[in-house]
């Protein structure tokens, strides 16, 4: 069962600068490892595979966490995924938009905080993309036109709703990869990763093998999947904690 969105993944060309930028708006580094193992099950979803990667996971209360990854080789393309954020007018004046966020001014908020409330996603097939995201718990809103639709994810663990806005773009293709610079993957936490994988495979969705990865003091089971239209999702299940005595 999918219980929450864990993070939004960003492929970086300026690792430390991107970390610093998010820290300026209240995000905190939870884990950082500049030689993190790159799982073999990611090979299908990378243009160039290398055994390690730079990794940083940043968190902010009541917000989607952001994972920053930097790979040995960097491929610059126009990202198909654009998060919307709301920040104060004061913050907007000094905001360095390394991430190509769609930035809105929140007049009610005078703090330096950042609210990530919507993710735009370009697709060449709205129906197929809708079916894919419904597999992870997104629910379709009433569709107002034939060129876009919105879906909402409400975690059973919180009252926070995340909106996914699918936008039709006939120039998009399925060739989307994790080492393309920009936002490119949404990750979910599951309580039953094997059932999740079996369910996706029953819908003919491409999935990787499940592999384990230690981050900090926790071992996670992880697999990746990809829609016919190219969107990539990561499924994660915490497996066990490592105790050092």
Domain locations along the chain: 2-241
Tell the CATH superfamily of the 2-241 domain.
2,3-Dihydroxybiphenyl 1,2-Dioxygenase, domain 1 (3.10.180.10)
Per cent of the chain over pLDDT 90 is 69
Segment 185-217, tens digit of pLDDT: 999 999 999 999 999 999 999 999 999 999 999
What is the rounded distance in angstroms from the CA atom of residue 11 to the CA atom of residue 224?
16
Mind listing the pLDDT tens digit for each residue in 61-109?
Answer: 888 999 999 999 999 988 899 999 888 765 655 566 678 888 888 765 5
Q: What is the pLDDT of residues 28-49, one digit of tens each?
A: 999 999 999 999 999 999 999 9
Measured between alpha carbons, how far is 4 from 174 in angstroms, rounded to an integer? Answer: 26
Q: Using CA atoms, how far apart are residues 165 and 9, in angstroms rounded to an integer?
A: 17
């Amino acid at each position: 069962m999918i219980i929450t969105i864990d993070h939004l993944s960003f492929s970086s060309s300026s690792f430390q600068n991107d970390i610093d930028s998010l820290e300026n708006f209240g995000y905190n580094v939870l884990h950082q490892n500049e030689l993190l193992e790159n799982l073999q099950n990611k090979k299908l979803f990378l243009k160039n595979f290398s055994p390690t990667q730079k990794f940083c996971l940043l968190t902010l209360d009541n917000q989607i966490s952001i994972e920053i990854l930097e790979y040995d080789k960097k491929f610059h393309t126009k990202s198909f995924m654009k998060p919307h954020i709301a920040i104060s007018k004061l913050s907007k004046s000094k905001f360095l938009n390394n991430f190509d966020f769609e930035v809105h001014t929140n007049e009610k908020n005078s703090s330096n905080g950042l609210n990530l409330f919507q993710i735009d996603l370009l697709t060449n097939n709205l129906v197929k993309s809708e079916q894919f995201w419904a597999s992870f718990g997104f629910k379709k809103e009433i569709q107002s036109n034939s060129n876009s639709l919105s879906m909402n994810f409400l975690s059973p663990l919180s009252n926070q709703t995340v909106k996914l806005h699918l936008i039709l773009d006939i120039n998009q293709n399925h060739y989307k990869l994790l080492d393309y610079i920009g936002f490119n993957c949404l990750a979910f936490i599951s309580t039953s990763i094997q059932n999740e994988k079996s369910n996706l495979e029953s819908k003919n969705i491409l999935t990787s093998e499940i592999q384990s990865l230690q981050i900090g003091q926790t071992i996670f089971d992880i697999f990746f999947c990809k829609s016919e239209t190219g969107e990539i999702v990561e499924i994660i299940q915490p497996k066990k904690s490592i105790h050092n005595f």
